[in-house]
């Protein structure tokens, strides 16, 4: 099972990113555990320039934007 982390304070963009990531996993039929990371110290450990951030299996794949469902599906397929 993949581990998908949403990095951010819980803002509207963070919620939208989580929705996109969940939809991508669902469409790709990929089992994934979703974790929200809101503690700034934990977020900065990922060398993130801006939130929201998306981490798949401890690899930062996106930051500062909302990727498309198709982009997230590619990252989940690795």
pLDDT in tens, 64-74: 999 999 999 99
Is the distance from CB of 6 to CB of 18 less than 8 angstroms?
A: yes
State the burial class of residue 68 (Cβ atoms within 10 Å of its Cβ: 0-12, 13-18, 19+).
exposed
CA 65 to chain centre: 10
**Per the residue annotation, which of 4, 14, 32, 54 is the catalytic one?**
14
| φ, ψ at 15 (rounded to 5°) | -65, -40
pLDDT at 52: 97
Q: Is the pLDDT of residue 49 over 90?
A: no
Query: 12: pLDDT confidence band, cut at 50, 70 and 90?
Result: very high
Q: Is the pLDDT of residue 63 over 80?
A: yes
Q: Domains in the chain, ordered, with CATH?
A: 2-76 (3.40.30.10)
Query: 45: pLDDT confidence band, cut at 50, 70 and 90?
Result: very high
Q: What is the dihedral of CA 60, 53, 9, 26, to 10 degrees?
A: -100
Instruction: Write down the H helix ranges in the chain.
Output: 12-28, 40-44, 69-76
**Per the residue annotation, which of 3, 11, 33, 74 is the catalytic one?**
11
Does residue 69 have an active-site annotation? no
Average pLDDT estimate for 42-46: 94
Average pLDDT, the chain: 95
Does residue 76 have an active-site annotation? no
């Amino acid at each position: 099972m993949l581990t998908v982390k949403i990095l951010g304070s819980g803002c509207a963009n963070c919620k939208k990113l989580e929705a996109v990531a969940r939809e991508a996993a669902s469409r790709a039929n990929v089992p994934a555990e979703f974790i929200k990371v809101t503690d700034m110290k934990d977020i900065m450990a990922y060398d993130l320039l801006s939130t929201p951030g998306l981490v798949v299996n401890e690899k930062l794949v996106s930051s500062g934007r909302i990727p498309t469902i198709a982009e997230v599906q590619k990252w989940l397929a690795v």
